[in-house]
Amino acid sequence: MTGRIIKLNIILAAIFLNPFNICGQEFLIPATPDIMGQGIHHHHHILKSSLTDTLEIPFFDDFSKKPGYPDSTRWIDSYAYINNTYSGDPVSIGVATLDAVNDAGILNGDTETPFTSDYLTTKPINLRYPGRTDIFLSFFFQPQGLGDEPEEWDSLIVEFYSPSLNKWNRVWSTEGRPAEAFQQVFIPVIDTIYLQNGFRFRFMNYASLPKSQSFPSYNSNVDHWNIDYVYLDTTRSPSMNIVHDVSMITSLPSMLKIYEAMPWNHFPNAFLTEIRPTLDISYRNNDTLTRNVTRLLRIKDIITQEKYSLSGGAVNVERGLLGNYEFPYSYPFVFYNRDSTVFEIKSYLVTDEDDYKQNDTVIRYQMFYNFYAYDDGSAEFGYGISGEGTSNAALACQFKTYAKDTLRAVRMYFNRTLDNVSQNYFLLSIWNHNSDLNQPGELIYSMTGYKPEYQQELNKFITYVIDTLLVVSDIFYVGWIQTTNDLLNVGFDRNTNSKSKIFYNLGQEWANTSFQGSLMIRPILGKALSWPASTYPIPEKELHIYPNPASDIIRIELPPSLENLPYTVSIYNVQGRLIYEGQPVNQIVSVESFLPGLYLIRADITGMKPFITKLLISR
């Protein structure tokens, strides 16, 4: 294999065959996934659930509960990434992805030789069934998906734990290869060393970096494996491989045609042209029988609690069929005077009584805040310009504002690379629009002193503040001018496509990108930014709150090493106004009196930077 810069439509083999003669061009690099508030993988962060909480069979998880952490009622570690974005054609909505980075986006190894990377480990399971020969573990797996191809020397492994021997044993493995459909695997659990109370199993993977280190800024996340529909029980055999379930397959789309998010006070001007006429869902009948399902949609304004419901009717879904439905909704928006709002969009299937229910529902929170966004918040790849002569290359992302407004800042998400070598300075730049050529026009703002920065969480944007009063209207462009030939590796979302809005310039003229997807670049408009919408990167680190969304109470979790220290909690609304300050009682704070909407929560420990995260109140 030649390296892993991109495995989409073209193979850039020349990069590694003759790397020092490479001409300037654009690249995609495998990127880091999104997990909210997890610790560093190499610390072997274990979820709060105790190892003494023994489970009974059947054991089942299709990873449809929610993105982010593995379900702590089933799994003990937080290394796998639970998501709806990395798989291709999953069995049900949600997969567990193993790759080459830890929960903070830092590579788990730095060698061309395969290194141990991610784990997904169950809690102890009572498997005291002596003499049984009909206990099987089954699961579906897929190499690469929408991520990076694991090479033939990389691998996915299953191990069983023997309580009596206190030992893990490898029972199954497969080598890396290009993307393919999900395959089902059955593994018997019949050896007496496993048929005991305290049995566990785990998935793990070996990953490796490209064979060339000539361009270390290309060394980012690689070697993706997706896992779905994990099932352990008695009275099973490999011939019983049917999944008797109807499941949602994809997430709900944005209510907007072009954008994933836009400012609420701009939306009234955009409503007639920007609103999407249908909200589409996809579902699959995994059963061998024809199943009847009813499709339903509900939209709720989190602020006013106004609800809108629509039925897509009942339909028979033939066995193995992937079904699609477009809800022709007509939501009665009320354009009230607020800085922001959130809509909860829920679609669900009414299925047979004995059908598994958790994967029948998909929920999306449609945000209208103070920024425009094309991306869905998840970077499957990283984008950059690199090679000979790119030290003054430029990248520009086009936006159309539906109201004349002040551009206050630009938020960007950059993927971590090996040793963070992509932290080279760039000029934050703004251009106006050349209507004749439909491309960036005159450079109207450029400021030095910026470089890629990283939060201690994945897919956490950094805010780059504009220090000049800059009013924009209609079409404008935001991006950067480089100062070196190195690739900067900004997040690239492959699940949305704004290809026509991405331009790069190697020094002669502007060109449209050749890649389908969206840059994780978001212009912020409106009122002047004040804390906590700081002019500096917000140190959002390892503060967990749950439930989130919440309705009456929340529980605060600091990193394990700090959980016994006294701390003060402050809660701010989206206007930056302090609405609560105090010390939690048993880590619990009441939010019963809070209005529905978005909030920022800050935890302060004397002598340390604050810990910050977001909270959504929904009732």
Note whether 348 and 413 are same-domain residues.
no
- Alpha-carbon span 575 to 530, nearest angstrom: 9
Give the integer Cα–Cα distance in Å for 99 and 226: 9
Residues in Cβ contact with 562 at an 8 Å cutoff, skipping those fewer than 6 apart: 605, 608
pLDDT at 7: 33
In this structure, the answer to whether residues 519 and 597 fall within a common structural domain is no
The pLDDT value recorded for residue 38 is 30
CB distance 386 to 24 below 8 Å: yes
pLDDT value at position 252? 95
The answer to whether residues 576 and 513 belong to one domain is: no
pLDDT for res 5: 34
Q: Identify whether residues 492 and 581 lie together within a single domain.
A: no
In this structure, the answer to whether residues 275 and 349 fall within a common structural domain is: yes
Report pLDDT for 572: 80
Q: Are residues 330 and 425 in the same domain?
A: no
* Residues near 586 by beta carbon (within 8 Å), at least 6 away in sequence: none
* Residue 139, token pair as written in the block: 């699961």
pTM: 0.75
In a domain, 248, yes or no: no
Residues 228 and 84 in one domain: yes
Burial of 561 (0-12, 13-18, 19+ CB in 10 A): exposed
69 and 182 co-located in one domain:
yes
Residue ending a domain, choose from 346, 368, 390: 368
Query: Residue type for 592, please?
Result: E
Domain that holds residue 587: 544-617
Are 107 and 216 found together in one domain?
A: yes
The answer to whether residue 606 is domain-embedded is yes
pLDDT at site 30: 63
pLDDT of residue 228: 96
SS3 577: coil
Q: At 309, which amino acid appears?
A: S
What pLDDT shows up at residue 422? 59
Contact criterion met (CB below 8 Å) for 179 and 132: no
Tell me which residue has tokens 């989190």. Answer: 302
Q: Which pLDDT score is estimated for 13? A: 29
- Inter-CA distances, 72 with 50, 67, 68, 75, 123, Å: 9, 13, 11, 5, 9
Exposure string for 306-327, b = 16+ CB within 10 A, e = fewer: eebebebeeeebeeeeebebeb
Picking from 312, 333, 368, the residue at the C-terminal end of a domain is: 368
Domain count of the chain?
4
Is residue 449 packed enough to be buried (19+ CB in 10 Å), middle (13-18) or exposed (0-12)?
A: exposed
**What pLDDT is recorded for position 147?**
83
**For strand 59-61 and strand 183-188, is the pairing parallel, antiparallel, or unpaired?**
unpaired
Whether residues 611 and 475 fall in one domain: no
Q: Where do runs of H (alpha helix) occur along 160-282?
A: 267-274
Q: Please give the average pLDDT of every successive group of 10 residues along the chain, which has 619 residues.
A: 33 31 70 38 41 86 88 91 88 93 72 90 97 97 91 96 97 96 97 97 92 54 92 95 91 96 96 95 94 96 92 94 94 91 95 90 93 92 88 95 96 77 80 96 88 73 89 97 88 94 94 96 88 39 78 83 77 75 85 85 76 81
Q: Which two tokens stand for residue 500?
A: 């026509």
Render 503-522 in DSSP notation, one character per residue: EEESSS-EEE-SS-SEE-EE
Q: Are residues 480 and 588 in the same domain?
A: no
The verdict on residue 400 lying in a domain is yes
